[in-house]
């Protein structure tokens, strides 16, 4: 094909534009700092997709996972894939930043960050060494102050058009009750593949379609401001479809998510794993009660105890057997009893023995200190999929206790950098240990509206009312690891955002009506509803605080405010004055435009590039490989 010099230059300009688009979508690769523990893998080595077009991992069944920089499968075992597990966000394919990724010591691969639709996206891919399959975790972070609605798709191309399939409910086509499907292509050389898209009772289910050689899972997601969500998918490949069907029937969801902390498992929208108790790995059998001794020996039978008397942080308790799932021995011999409602009661049981009747005959009496864990079998009375516990407090003793959160039951206050504030449990998501770098306070309160406030509990003991026996207890504040209230984010449209020098983020409204600003050129009056952004700086660490005001019309004013504190309201009840010296910025995202607010007409659209015969302008997202092919042919 003949191409003129001018056309070649235009193609090269298209290539440059494509590369620019790719660079704008990417950020420097590598594990992010300051994120939630366990959300991202720790880097042990780097994967460079420029030197090798794919990175190969192998699962326990011999399945080949040759991962490209899209996070997709190149071909798999005997070319069973023709590009599998692509991730699309807003219609654009994910790809690794700078063609690089990283792996941890266990061999799990992570790619990112990648920017799209104001989201920051990562992909984690794991080929299991003890299971014949692989897992994808797609992490979508919304760093903005507004909710983001976006379509997310996972699509897989298998080598041949699908001619055989079977779903988790036994049908040929994916239906409303299905969560997985295996497929086989029309050729005799086709290798069957299993696709696990969701799970029963998941919070979010995809729309799934199988057409020709493509398998699609589509999600319409709304991600709250400042929040992270995760999508989880599994793939397996095997020459024998019967083995895939067996794997689907006995799919070990719990075991496959065991490596993730509870905080990360809760972020997964499309997979719900039954039996999760925070920090407790209680194995249960489908038909028999299960006992594992301290030496590792396993015994199956029937536990006959009517109750268990133990000494706990809350005093002596007699736990009825009918309210228990089992027990795990924790640190220093502490017993951790798991209740059917998800609570965990820690304590010690002097002289307690477990009565176990064996199916072959005989009855054993086993001292509790000789047991690593025991559990009742899965049944209607003790299901594996527990109901949501609701608000709870998790202590560093291992206890997880359900609490009441009505105003008379739970009263909490934090001593913050700007004074004492009363917390309303109805407006909180959780209170956690403050793990910010250089943190000077012990706890961090996260609000449903997106605010984050750090501080210390004012009282040495927290008065809480437990659901367990309606007890009122005083819990030592230094034993609290987590107080969970809700997962329901409630963004405030048009809220003002205040950022403090300790990284606290307050969302709410300005209480003040007007400020007076002493500038070098005279005094200016600034109405609280007429500025766009207010920042504070010091020329010296001990110097005066200088206010910088950006008005709606673009005017910038600098000077000294007539107020030492900015009045601010968070939620329905927290009214406080924030010292100007600790404020980094105060932004009004939705200012009310005044008469001096000059609206600028949008710039005229650029004229389209004229079509060139024989040349197709490539979409930037098609990547440098396609562009190089065009240039090579020229």
Cβ neighbours of residue 311 closer than 8 Å, sequence gap 6 or more: 317, 347, 348, 349, 350
Q: Are 517 and 496 in contact (CB under 8 A)?
A: no
Q: Structure pTM?
A: 0.63
Phi, psi (degrees; rounded to nearest 5) at 627: -65, -40
Is 224 strand, coil or helix?
Answer: coil
Residues 107-142 have pLDDT tens digits of: 999 999 999 999 999 999 999 999 999 999 999 999
Of the candidates 150, 38, 47, 149, the residue with the CA atom closest to the CA atom of residue 91 = 150
CATH architecture, range 37-265: Distorted Sandwich (2.70)
Structure tokens that stand for 54 in this block: 């794919």
From the list 404, 479, 417, 409, the residue with the least C-alpha distance to 452 is 417
281-304 average pLDDT score: 92
Given this model, what pLDDT does residue 276 score? 53
The CA distance from 111 to 133, in Å, is: 19
**Average pLDDT of the residues in 586-600:** 57
Average pLDDT over residues 73-101: 95
Q: 298-303 and 289-293 as β-strands: parallel, antiparallel, unpaired?
A: antiparallel
pLDDT at residue 540, rounded to an integer:
78
Tokens of 471: 């007890």
β 428-433/134-141 pair status: unpaired
Domain edges within the chain = 1-29+604-634, 37-265, 289-375, 392-484, 496-587
Q: What is the pLDDT of residue 330?
A: 77
Core vs surface per residue 334-372: b (16+ CB within 10 A) or e: bbbbbbebbbbbbbebeebbbebeeeeeeeeebebeebe
Tens of pLDDT, residues 528-575? 888 999 999 887 777 788 999 999 888 999 999 998 999 999 988 899
- The confidence score (pLDDT) of residue 25 equals 47
What is the model's pLDDT at position 604? Answer: 52
| Residue 212: CA count within 13 A, CB half-sphere | 5
Mean pLDDT of 139-167: 94
b/e per residue 67-92 (b: at least 16 CB within 10 A): bbbbbbbbbbbeebbbbbbbbbbeeb
Report the C-alpha gap between 35 and 264 in whole angstroms.
11
Q: What confidence tier does 9 reach under pLDDT thresholds 50, 70, 90?
A: very low
**Are the C-beta atoms of 167 and 175 separated by less than 8 Å?**
yes
The predicted structure's pLDDT at residue 465 = 86
Nearest to 79 by CA among 157, 169, 154: 157
Mean pLDDT of 324-352: 87
Give CA 524 to chain center in angstroms.
46
The answer, yes or no, to whether residue 592 has pLDDT greater than 60, is no
**How many C-beta atoms surround the C-beta of residue 433 within 10 A?**
12
Distance CA 227, CA 214 (A): 31
In sequence order, which residues have a C-beta less than 8 Å from that of residue 256 and are 6 or more positions away? 128, 131, 133, 135, 234
State the pLDDT at residue 29. 61
State pLDDT tens for residues 176-224. Answer: 999 999 999 999 999 999 999 999 878 899 999 999 999 999 999 999 8
Q: Taking residues 157-173, what's their average pLDDT?
A: 95
Tokens of 375: 């559990």
Model confidence band, residue 30 (pLDDT cutoffs 50, 70, 90): low
Q: Which residue has the higher pLDDT, 239 or 51?
A: 239
pLDDT of residue 605: 53
Q: What is the pLDDT of residue 6?
A: 43
The answer to whether 442 touches 434, Cβ cutoff 8 Å, is yes
Mean pLDDT value across the chain: 85
Beta-carbon contacts of residue 380 (< 8 Å; ≥ 6 apart): none
Q: In what order do the strands lie in the sheet with 193-196?
A: 45-48, 100-103, 109-116, 119-127, 134-141, 228-237, 193-196, 180-185, 162-167
pLDDT, position 359: 94
**216-263 tens-digit pLDDT:** 999 999 998 888 999 999 999 999 999 999 999 999 998 899 888 777
d(CA 481, CA 435): 11
């Amino acid at each position: 094909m003949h191409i003129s010099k001018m056309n070649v230059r235009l193609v090269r300009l298209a290539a440059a534009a494509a590369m620019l688009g790719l660079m704008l979508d990417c950020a420097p690769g590598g594990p992010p700092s300051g994120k939630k523990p366990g959300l991202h893998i720790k880097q042990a080595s780097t994967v460079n997709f420029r030197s090798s077009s794919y990175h190969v991992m192998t699962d326990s069944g011999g399945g080949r996972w040759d991962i490209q920089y899209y996070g997709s499968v190149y071909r798999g075992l005997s070319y069973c894939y023709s590009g599998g597990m692509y991730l699309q966000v807003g219609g654009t394919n994910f790809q690794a930043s700078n063609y690089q990724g990283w792996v941890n010591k266990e061999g799990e691969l992570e790619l990112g960050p990648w920017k799209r639709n104001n989201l920051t996206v990562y992909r984690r891919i794991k080929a299991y060494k003890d299971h014949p399959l692989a897992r994808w975790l797609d992490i979508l972070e919304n760093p903005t102050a507004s909710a983001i609605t976006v379509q997310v798709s996972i699509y897989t191309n298998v080598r041949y058009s699908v001619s055989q399939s079977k779903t988790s409910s036994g049908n040929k086509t994916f239906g409303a009750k299905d969560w997985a499907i295996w497929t086989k292509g029309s050729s005799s050389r086709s290798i069957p593949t299993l696709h696990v898209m969701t799970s029963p009772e998941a919070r979010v289910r995809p729309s799934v379609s199988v057409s020709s050689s493509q398998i699609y899972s589509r999600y319409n997601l709304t991600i709250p401001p400042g929040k992270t969500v995760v999508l989880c998918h599994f793939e397996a490949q095997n020459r024998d479809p019967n083995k895939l069907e067996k794997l689907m029937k006995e799919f070990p969801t719990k075991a496959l998510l065991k490596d993730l902390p509870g905080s990360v498992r809760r972020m997964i929208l499309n997979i719900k794993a039954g039996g999760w108790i925070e920090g407790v790995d209680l194995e249960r059998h489908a038909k028999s009660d299960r006992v594992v001794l301290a030496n590792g020996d396993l015994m199956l039978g029937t536990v006959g105890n009517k109750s268990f008397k133990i000494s706990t942080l809350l005093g002596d308790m007699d736990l009825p057997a009918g309210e228990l799932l089992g027990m795990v021995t924790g640190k220093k011999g502490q017993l951790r009893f798991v209740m059917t409602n998800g609570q965990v009661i820690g304590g010690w049981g002097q002289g307690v023995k477990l009565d176990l009747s064996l199916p072959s005959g005989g009855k054993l009496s086993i001292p509790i200190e000789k047991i690593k864990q025991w559990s009742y079998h899965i049944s209607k009375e003790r299901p594996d999929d527990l109901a949501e516990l609701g608000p709870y407090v998790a202590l560093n003793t291992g206890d997880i206790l359900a609490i009441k959160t009505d105003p008379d039951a739970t009263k909490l206050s934090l001593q913050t950098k700007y004074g004492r504030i009363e917390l309303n449990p109805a407006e909180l998501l959780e209170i956690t240990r403050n793990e910010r770098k250089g943190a000077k306070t012990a706890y961090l309160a996260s609000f449903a509206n997106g605010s984050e406030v750090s501080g210390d509990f004012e009282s040495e003991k927290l008065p809480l009312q437990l659901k367990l026996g309606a007890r009122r207890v005083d819990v030592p504040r230094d034993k609290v690891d987590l107080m969970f209230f809700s997962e329901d984010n409630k963004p405030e449209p048009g809220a003002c955002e205040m950022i403090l020098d300790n990284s606290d983020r307050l969302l709410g409204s300005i209480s003040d009506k007007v400020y007076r600003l002493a500038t070098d050129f005279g005094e200016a009056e600034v109405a609280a509803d007429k500025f766009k952004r207010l920042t504070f700086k010091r020329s010296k660490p001990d110097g005066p605080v200088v206010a910088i005001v950006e008005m709606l019309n673009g005017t910038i004013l600098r000077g000294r405010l007539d107020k030492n504190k900015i009045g601010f309201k968070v939620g329905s009840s927290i009214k406080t004055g924030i010292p100007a010296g600790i404020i980094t910025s105060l932004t009004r995202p939705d200012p009310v435009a005044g008469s001096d607010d000059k609206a600028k007409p949008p710039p005229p659209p650029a004229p389209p590039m004229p079509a060139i015969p024989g040349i197709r302008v490539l979409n930037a997202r098609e990547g440098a490989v396609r562009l190089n092919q065009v240039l090579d042919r020229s």
